[in-house]
Amino acid sequence: MLIIRHRNKLILTLAFAVMMLASPVYRARAQAAWEVLFNGEVSKTEVHTTENGSYVPVFFPVPEEGESQSYGVLIETDGANKQIKVTKVKKKSPVKVRGDCPKCLGSKDCQDCYPAGSGVGTSGGSCYSCNGSGDCPYCQGSGDCYTCGGKGFPGGCNTCGDVSS
Parent domain of 78: 32-59+67-93
In a domain, 4, yes or no: no
In a domain, 27, yes or no: no
* Residues 121, 86 share a domain: no
* Model-wide pTM > 0.85: no
Domain count, the chain: 2
Please, what are the averages of pLDDT over each run of 10 residues along the chain (165 residues)?
Answer: 65 68 54 80 86 85 80 84 85 65 91 92 89 93 90 82 65
Which pLDDT score is estimated for 99?
83
* Residues 37, 73 share a domain: yes
In a domain, 10, yes or no: no
164: CB partners within 8 A, 6+ apart: 148, 151, 152, 153, 154
Which pLDDT score is estimated for 142?
93
Which pLDDT score is estimated for 94?
53
CA dist 59 and 79 (Å) reads 24
Q: Which amino acid is at 53?
A: G
In a domain, 19, yes or no: no
93: CB partners within 8 A, 6+ apart: 68, 70
132: CB partners within 8 A, 6+ apart: 119, 120, 126
Which pLDDT score is estimated for 8?
74
* Residues 102, 86 share a domain: no
